[in-house]
C-alpha cells in the first residue's frame, strides 16, 4: 500500500512553529526554506527515504487562495495529505485539485497527485468545482479538428443526457426559418453548419436563470482574415460556451433553486464563397439591422441573437460569457476579465466573490457616452467602432441593445487561456468566472435540498 506523504504548509517566518521533528526543521533551515511563496522542499527520513514535504504559503499578509495549486503542479504522482497552516480547508483542497489538472488526450502524462480531503473540507464543493473546471479546460484545450460544431454538439448532448437536461438544436438553414439570421450568417461558410443549442433544467416555477456562451469553435477572422499570430489560439474562441457549461454543471450539481436555461450559439467562422462580408447589413432576431464593420468581430453577432431569445421569456437573470475582445486583454491583461453588470450591486458581489476564491474579475462600465461610436449611416447600428478606443466597452454596449432595459444582465469578456502557469491554473485553456459567479448564484438562489 502506498504511503500518504504529508505536506506541511508554512507561512513565511513561521517555520519554528511547524509541527515537524527537529531533524526536519533543521533540514529546512539548512536548505534555506523559510516558507517562501510556492517553494516546495522534499524532506528525507532517517534512512534517506522521502518522508514528506514543506511547502511555502508566502506572507500571512498576502494570502493567495490557490497557492497550493503550485504544489500539485510540482509533485510526483502519489497520495498526499495537508498539515500545518493551509487556511480554509475547502479552498486548499480545491487549489490542489485545480493545480493537478492535466490535459492528456494527445500526449501520455504521468498520473496526477491525489490529495486526501482535509478535515472539515466540503468534499462535495471541491468535487463540484473541480469537475466544472476540468470540463471547461478540456473543451478549450481540444483543437478544432476534434471539436468543430458537429463534435461540440455531440459533447453537449452527452452533457445534457448525463444531467437529465432537455435539449433542442436548430441547425443550418433552419436558423433562418426560426429567425436567428446573425448566427446563420456567421457560420454559413463552414463545412459544418451553424447551430443554436438550447438546454434547460429545473422546475418551471423557479426563478429563470439563463446562461449564454459564445461557441466559435475556430475563428479565422472570416474575410477580414487574422494574421497567423492572431489565429494560432483560435481553438479557444469557444471558451465562453465551455465556461458556461462548467458553470451549468456546478449549478445543477448543487441543485440551486432555479429554472436553468443554457443557450449556446455554435459556429465556425470560416472562409468560403458564402462568407458574410464587411459592409453587409444583417437582420437580427431583435429586429435591429446591423452593419458589419469587420468579420473578425463575429462573436457579438451570434451572442446578440441568443441574448434576444433569452430575453423573450423575461428571465430573472441573464449571464453571458464570451472570449469577445482583444481590447479586454489590452485593458486588464489575460488574468483579469472585465465584467459588465446592469445591476451594480450584483456586479460588486461577483467581483468580491472572485477575489475571495482567486477567480478574479473586474467591473467596467456600460458607458452610454460611447454608444455614438456604434452609429451606422445605413443601418440601426454598426457592430464595431472604427475608433481605437474602449473596444471591450463598445462590444458590451452593442450586446446591451439586444435585451430589454429592465432585464438583469451580466456580461463577462473572458480570455479563457493561461499563457503561463499560475497557482491553480496550468498553461493552456482555463476557466474564468465560473467560481466567482457560482458563489454569488449560490447565495442568491440557495438550494433545493
pLDDT in tens, 390-424: 999 999 999 999 999 999 999 999 999 999 999 99
58: Cβ–Cβ under 8 A, 6 or more apart, which residues? 11, 12, 35, 36, 37, 38, 64, 67
Q: What is the mean pLDDT of residues 34-55?
A: 93
The reported pLDDT for the residue numbered 1 is 47
Q: Determine the pLDDT at residue 13.
A: 86
Task: Summarize the confidence of residues 264-288 as an average pLDDT.
Answer: 98
Say whether 208 is catalytic. no
Mean pLDDT of 48-64: 87
Angle at the Cα of 63 from the Cα atoms of 62 and 64, rounded to 5 degrees: 115
Return the SS3 of 215: strand
Question: Cβ neighbours of residue 129 under 8 Å, at least 6 residues apart?
Answer: 94, 250, 434, 435, 438
Q: Is the pLDDT of residue 17 over 70?
A: yes
Secondary structure element (H or E) that encloses residue 413, with its range: strand 409-413
pLDDT at 261: 98
Tell me how crowded residue 373 is: count the other CB atoms within 10 A of its CB.
18
Q: What is the mean pLDDT of the chain?
A: 96
Q: 3-state class of 223 per DSSP?
A: coil
Cell 502557469, residue located: 421
Find out whether 263 and 156 touch, Cβ atoms under 8 Å: no
Provide mean pLDDT across the span 82-108: 95
**pLDDT above 60: residue 389:** yes
Contact 28, 41 (CB under 8 A): yes
- Domains of the chain and CATH, by start: 4-121 (3.40.220.10), 129-445 (3.40.630.10)
pLDDT computed for residue 18 by the predictor:
79
Give phi and psi for 429, each to the nearest 5. Answer: -55, 135
Per DSSP, helices labelled H in 163-235 are: 174-177, 181-187, 228-231
> What is the mean pLDDT of the segment spanning 176-191?
98
The CB-side HSE value for 168 (13 A sphere, CA atoms) comes to 6
Residue 226 buriedness (CB in 10 A; 0-12 / 13-18 / 19+): middle
The arithmetic mean of pLDDT across residues 52-68, rounded, is 88
Which one is catalytic: 20, 128, 195, 300? 300
**How large a percentage of the chain has pLDDT more than 90?**
92
236: its cell numbers: 479557444
DSSP structure class, residue 393: H
Q: Which of 390, 386, 384 is nearest to 369 (CA)?
A: 390
pLDDT value for 447: 63
The question of whether 285 is a catalytic residue gets the answer no
How many contiguous H segments (helices) and E segments (strands) does the chain have? 14, 19
Catalytic: which of 34, 157, 226, 442? 226
Closest CA to 321 of 299, 288, 351, 290: 299
Q: Taking every pair of C-alpha atoms in the chain, what is the biggest distance, in angstroms?
A: 81
Query: Cβ contacts of residue 201 below 8 Å, gap of 6+?
Result: 163, 164, 165, 166, 248, 252, 259, 260
The model carries a pTM of 0.96
Is the pLDDT at 244 greater than 70, yes or no? yes
Q: Grid coordinates in use for 113?
A: 497527485
The rounded distance, in Å, linking the Cα atoms of 438 and 354 is 10
Amino acid at each position: 500500500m502506498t504511503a500518504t506523504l504529508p505536506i506541511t504548509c508554512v507561512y513565511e517566518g513561521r517555520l519554528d512553529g511547524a509541527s515537524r521533528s527537529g531533524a526536519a526543521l533543521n533540514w529546512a533551515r539548512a536548505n534555506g526554506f523559510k516558507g517562501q511563496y510556492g517553494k516546495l522542499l522534499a524532506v528525507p527520513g532517517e534512512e534517506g527515504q522521502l518522508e514528506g514535504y514543506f511547502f511555502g504559503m508566502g506572507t500571512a499578509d498576502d494570502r493567495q487562495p490557490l497557492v497550493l495549486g503550485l504544489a500539485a503542479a510540482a509533485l510526483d504522482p502519489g497520495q498526499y495529505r495537508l498539515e500545518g497552516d493551509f487556511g480554509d480547508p475547502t479552498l486548499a483542497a480545491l487549489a490542489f485539485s485545480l493545480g493537478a489538472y492535466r490535459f492528456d488526450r494527445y500526449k501520455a502524462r504521468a498520473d496526477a497527485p491525489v490529495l486526501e480531503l482535509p478535515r472539515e473540507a466540503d468534499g462535495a464543493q471541491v468535487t463540484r468545482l473541480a469537475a466544472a473546471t476540468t470540463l471547461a479546460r478540456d473543451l478549450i484545450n481540444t483543437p478544432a479538428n476534434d471539436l468543430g460544431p458537429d463534435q461540440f454538439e455531440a459533447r453537449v448532448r452527452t452533457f445534457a443526457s448525463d444531467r437529465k437536461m432537455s435539449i433542442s438544436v436548430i441547425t443550418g438553414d433552419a436558423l433562418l426559418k426560426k429567425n436567428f439570421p446573425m448566427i446563420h450568417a456567421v457560420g454559413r461558410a463552414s463545412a459544418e453548419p451553424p447551430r443554436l443549442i438550447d438546454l434547460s433544467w429545473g422546475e418551471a416555477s423557479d426563478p429563470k436563470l439563463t446562461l449564454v456562451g459564445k461557441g466559435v469553435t475556430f475563428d479565422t477572422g472570416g474575410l477580414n482574415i487574422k494574421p497567423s499570430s492572431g489565429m494560432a489560439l483560435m481553438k479557444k474562441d469557444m471558451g465562453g460556451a465551455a465556461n458556461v457549461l462548467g458553470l451549468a454543471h456546478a449549478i445543477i450539481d448543487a441543485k440551486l433553486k432555479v429554472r436553468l436555461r443554457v443557450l449556446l450559439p455554435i459556429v465556425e467562422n470560416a472562409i468560403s464563397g458564402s462568407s458574410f462580408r464587411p459592409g453587409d447589413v444583417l437582420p437580427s432576431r431583435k429586429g435591429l439591422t446591423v452593419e458589419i464593420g469587420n468579420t473578425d468581430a463575429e462573436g457579438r453577432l451570434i451572442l446578440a441573437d441568443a441574448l434576444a431569445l433569452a430575453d423573450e421569456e423575461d428571465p430573472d437573470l441573464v449571464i453571458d460569457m464570451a472570449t469577445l475582445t482583444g481590447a479586454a486583454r489590452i485593458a486588464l491583461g489575460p488574468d483579469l476579465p472585465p465584467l459588465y453588470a446592469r445591476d451594480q450591486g450584483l456586479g460588486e458581489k461577483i467581483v468580491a466573490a472572485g477575489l475571495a476564491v482567486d477567480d478574479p474579475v473586474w467591473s467596467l462600465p456600460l458607458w452610454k457616452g460611447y454608444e455614438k461610436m456604434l452609429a451606422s449611416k445605413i443601418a440601426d447600428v454598426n457592430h464595431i467602432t472604427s475608433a481605437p478606443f474602449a473596444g471591450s466597452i463598445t462590444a458590451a454596449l452593442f450586446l446591451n441593445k439586444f435585451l430589454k432595459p429592465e432585464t438583469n444582465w451580466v456580461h463577462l469578456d473572458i480570455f479563457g487561456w493561461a499563457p503561463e502557469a499560475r497557482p491553480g491554473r496550468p498553461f493552456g485553456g482555463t476557466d474564468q468566472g465560473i467560481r466567482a459567479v457560482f458563489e454569488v448564484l449560490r447565495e442568491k438562489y440557495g438550494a433545493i435540498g
